[in-house]
Amino acid sequence: MVDALRYAVNWLPPGKKAAVCLSIDDVHPGRSSDHYEAGGDLGKGVLGHVEWLLDRHPQLHATLFVTADWREIHPRPTRKMLAAIPGLRDHFYLAKIRPRGAMRLDRHREFVHYITSLPRTEIALHGLYHCHRGLKIPMEFQEQNCEEFTALLEEAIAIFGRAGIDYVPGICPPGWNSPPALLDAMVNVGLRFIGSARDLATPVSGHARTDMHGMNGVSLIYPQWIHDRRLLHVTSNFSCTNTIDRAFEIIEAGGLLSIKAHAVKKVFDYVADDGLDVGYRNFLDMLLMVLEEKYGDALFFTSMGEIVRRAFEDRTGPPEDV
């Protein structure tokens, strides 16, 4: 269970009305010559869209949620017979996965150099392997205990260290799932924020709580302390399936417009709605131009890492009047 909105979070600088951030999940060194591209083609692939947006919008920041050693190939079971046997299926990978180490970041120096050289771009964690036994293949954090989660996170952080990646201390859990033992493990390894909830549908208001993917019941539009105020939660509340009116509503309510995209658009027969392709890129370009024109300096262009840094610098605010 998550805490209620118990404490004010000091995340918005004085003089700013609302904020905007952009994050991209599933970034890893996969190339178009592999099963699918997820950043490995550098500027010629999906990250070229990010670079293009950063170039056209000098205030924009990006957070890349990067997987330390991506092993998933298929997001859904292909071993159908096995997948049909309750109990037994939970003990097996229900689709082929990559060997350990093939996509490990410290073995892809050019990729690491590229992502760490992008302007106004920070890197955070998106799991160790991005796969799990059983039906929900991409959902890496499920029934494991705190010790096991801690070991997974420590290994991911060690890979980031060997790759020379200076990460911001947060995670977007693959498949959005964040059991309480994962939150304990995050604290154990020094992480400070999580983006577990994605909600693109709940009507916008200051009191709106998430009710879609991942963590339910947290604020739809404001960063919020959770887990006895040891972690900050940041909801993803906007993507290319939304209209621009939702962005206006979030900003008018003084919230954080938290835009989510995925690095991989199409995996075999699975298509991610919010995969960052040319269409989504152009939609974001238009959205950002409209926001810049309409709100000017009143809008705080920021990143999850920056919000968390500001919030943790001032954790002594009074209990929030909910």
What is the nearest approach in angstroms of Zn ion to the Cβ of residue 35? Answer: 15
Give the nearer residue to Zn ion in terms of CB position, either 25 or 249. Answer: 25
41 binds Zn ion (CB under 5 A): no
25 binds Zn ion (CB under 5 A): yes
Between CA 90 and CA 88 the distance in angstroms is 5
Give the nearer residue to Zn ion in terms of CB position, either 178 or 204. Answer: 178
Give the nearer residue to Zn ion in terms of CB position, either 94 or 250. Answer: 94
Give the nearer residue to Zn ion in terms of CB position, either 19 or 153. Answer: 153
What is the nearest approach in angstroms of Zn ion to the Cβ of residue 12? Answer: 28
* Segment near Zn ion (CB under 5 A); pick from 10-18, 70-78, 149-157, 166-174: 166-174
Give the bridge partners for 22, in sequence order: 62, 259
Q: 288 is written with which tokens? A: 């950002």
What is the nearest approach in angstroms of Zn ion to the Cβ of residue 213? Answer: 11
**Residue-wise DSSP of 82-132:** HHTSTTGGGGSBSS-BPPTTTTBGGG-HHHHHHHHHSTTEEEEE--SSS--
* Segment near Zn ion (CB under 5 A); pick from 21-29, 70-78, 111-119, 143-151: 21-29
What is the nearest approach in angstroms of Zn ion to the Cβ of residue 265? Answer: 13
174 binds Zn ion (CB under 5 A): yes
Q: DSSP alpha helices (H): ranges in the chain?
A: 46-56, 80-83, 109-117, 146-163, 180-188, 244-252, 278-295, 304-313
Closest by Cα among 122, 61, 121, 57 to 291: 57
Q: 282 is written with which tokens? A: 């152009």
Give the nearer residue to Zn ion in terms of CB position, either 51 or 274. Answer: 274
What are the strands, taking DSSP E only, across 149-245? Answer: 170-171, 193-194, 224-226, 231-233
Applying CB under 5 A, which of residues 18, 24, 26, 177 lies at the interface with Zn ion? 26
What is the nearest approach in angstroms of Zn ion to the Cβ of residue 185? Answer: 18
214 binds Zn ion (CB under 5 A): no
Phi, psi angles (nearest 5°) of residue 150: -60, -45
Q: Angle at which helices 180-188 and 146-163 pack, to 10 degrees?
A: 50
What is the nearest approach in angstroms of Zn ion to the Cβ of residue 25? Answer: 5
Interface positions, 141-160, toward Zn ion (CB under 5 A): none
Question: Which residues contribute to the site for Zn ion (CB under 5 A)?
Answer: 25-26, 174
